[in-house]
Amino acid sequence: MGIAETVAQVKSGAVKADFLFEQKLALIASRYTEIHAFNHVMADEARAAAVAVDEAVARGDDPGPLAGVTVALKDNMCTRGVPTTCSSKILEGWRPPYDGTVVSTLKTSGAIAIGKTNLDEFAMGSSTENSAFGPTRNPLDTNRVPGGSSGGSAASVAAGFSDVALGSDTGGSIRQPAALCGVVGVKPTYGYVSRYGLVAFASSLDQIGPFTTSVADAALMLDVIGGHDPLDSTSIPQAHPSLVDVLGQGVEGLRIGRITDLPEGADPDVQERLEVAFDALRAQGATIVDVQVPAFTFGLTAYYLIAPAEASSNLARYDGVRYGLRVEAADTNAMYGATREAGFGDEVKRRIMLGTYALSAGYYDAYYGKALKVRRLIHDDFDRAYQQADVLLTPTSPSVAFEIGSKGDNPLAMYLCDTYTIPTNLAGHPGMSVPYGTGAHGLPVGVQVLAGTLQEPTMFRVAASLERSLA
Ligand code: GLN
């Protein structure tokens, strides 16, 4: 059942939001430690919210466009009075004094926020193994990773713990786990969804988006959470057209770009599904065009200078004074050092060191400055490509879900997971992963649909057509 049907049933009084919520809670409890999708389940708050929805229905009030829909929140989104850890020891015990905009929007829309999901510490990683609280397991094969960094959110939707979830995507952290868990994941245009109350990793790249089991559910979620927010100065100051309305429009006449210079490295099973996707769109009336996007070759390099640079600055605030953990020491400077040494994990420390190096006086121009120029060129590359094609189709991830521990001691191998997702973040463009059958070991493969700035309607038309071609 899609969330639109859930909302209709709850609104009509045919089903109680409280009943649906208790079902989810029981399911979460039955696989809680096995999957470890959640850092914290908001059982009391969620129950109260579900009862409030049912009471509104009984009174004849409108309970909102997401009435009774259970949603899991990545644990880097601020929730008032509820622990928000970013899966880091440095934030242990911190309870934000306010809700992020997406969280308050969901609440006023009648959605039931059911818990905070596990992630790679501060969203740095591609497997959710970098969590200070232990890894999340892929519900489809618990020896394998769910992807990352929003692995807990992807796993929650794949396991049916929540109807939908929210994640954040800085270099692929919604799309890659969506692909590995067989669900839909969307990174909207930068500024489409408010970042107010999202703990910053790399502010010029971070964007919030949904995980869902269908393209229609993702469209409805974005229709609700998208739009201008005066509290986020980078949010786009305009309303967005409805995505739910375009889903049936098909792909007749659209030009679908096949990237001829895409970096190699995708496994044959993944390649094969991409070819099937091209064929399906062609059969529905689209034209396949060849385009070149050299940006894909340079994305990773530019990203691993820009994202750590921004992270090193954003993470300077965790000093033992204002948030969470404090390790006492002889003087203030020693306290800062001891707190950060104990509070941050290895990957976060690696990024902070990379970032401070890239920003240091002697290397700023050579590294950070140059990466910004490359970013500009990547943006221009995409603009040229979008003159020839309405959307681009690529694999989301080079492989299906890999085994837990298999890339743990090789940061570069982990970084390569994001080859196909990162360039879009640098350009600020939207992208989404659509589950498209299975590959090796019977595990899901995701196809990525990319589009230009604010071309979400076209991207969703293609995604919906791909989904229909599987039905
Ligand atoms: N895996 C990438 C990284 O480690 C992207 C993370 C993200 O999108 N948050 O930086």
Q: From ligand 1's centre to the CA of 228, what distance in Å?
A: 25
Contact 103, 72 (CB under 8 A): no
Distance CA(114)–CA(47), nearest Å, equals: 9
* Number of neighbouring beta carbons within 10 Å of residue 380: 12
pLDDT of residue 326: 96
Per-residue model confidence as pLDDT tens for the chain (471 residues): 899 999 999 999 999 999 999 999 999 999 999 999 999 999 999 999 999 999 999 999 999 999 999 999 999 999 999 999 999 999 988 999 999 999 999 999 999 999 999 999 999 999 999 999 999 999 999 999 999 999 999 999 999 999 999 999 999 999 999 999 999 999 999 999 999 999 999 999 999 999 999 999 999 999 999 999 999 999 999 999 999 999 999 999 999 999 999 999 999 999 999 999 999 999 999 999 999 999 899 999 999 999 999 999 999 999 999 999 999 999 999 999 999 999 999 999 999 999 999 999 999 999 999 999 999 999 999 999 999 999 999 999 999 999 999 997 888 889 999 999 999 999 999 999 999 999 999 999 999 999 999 999 999 999 999 999 998
Domain boundaries of the chain, sorted by first residue = 3-245
Beta carbon of 456 within 6 Å of any ligand 1 atom:
no
Q: From ligand 1's centre to the CA of 407, what distance in Å?
A: 15
pLDDT of residue 325: 95
DSSP state of 199: P
pLDDT of residue 458: 98
pLDDT of residue 1: 83
* Number of neighbouring beta carbons within 10 Å of residue 342: 13
Beta carbon of 348 within 6 Å of any ligand 1 atom:
no
Task: Select which of 11, 16, 74, 187 is catalytic.
Answer: 74
pLDDT of residue 222: 98
Alpha-carbon dihedral angle through residues 413, 414, 417, 418, given to the nearest 10 degrees: -120
Count of helix runs (H) and strand runs (E) in the chain: 16, 11
To 5 degrees, how large is the angle CA 223–CA 172–CA 465?
50
DSSP state of 2: -
Residue 30 is among the residues annotated as catalytic for this protein:
no
DSSP state of 141: B
What six digits make up the tokens of 456? 């979400």
pLDDT of residue 346: 97
Residue 465 is among the residues annotated as catalytic for this protein:
no
Rounded CA Rg of the chain: 21
Contact 276, 436 (CB under 8 A): yes
What six digits make up the tokens of 45? 């708050």
Distance CA(399)–CA(377), nearest Å, equals: 28
pLDDT of residue 436: 98
pLDDT of residue 228: 98
Q: From ligand 1's centre to the CA of 226, what distance in Å?
A: 22
Distance CA(311)–CA(43), nearest Å, equals: 32
The 3-state DSSP class for residue 307 equals helix
pTM: 0.98
Distance CA(381)–CA(392), nearest Å, equals: 13
Contact 292, 261 (CB under 8 A): yes
H/E element, 351: helix 346-359
What six digits make up the tokens of 360? 């240091």
H/E element, 225: helix 215-225
Contact 156, 179 (CB under 8 A): no
Which ligand 1 atom sits closest to the C-alpha of 303? 10
pLDDT of residue 143: 98
pLDDT of residue 409: 82
Phi first, then psi: what are they for 415, rounded to 5°? -60, -35
CATH class of the domain comprising 3-245: alpha beta
pLDDT of residue 408: 78
Residue 74 is among the residues annotated as catalytic for this protein:
yes
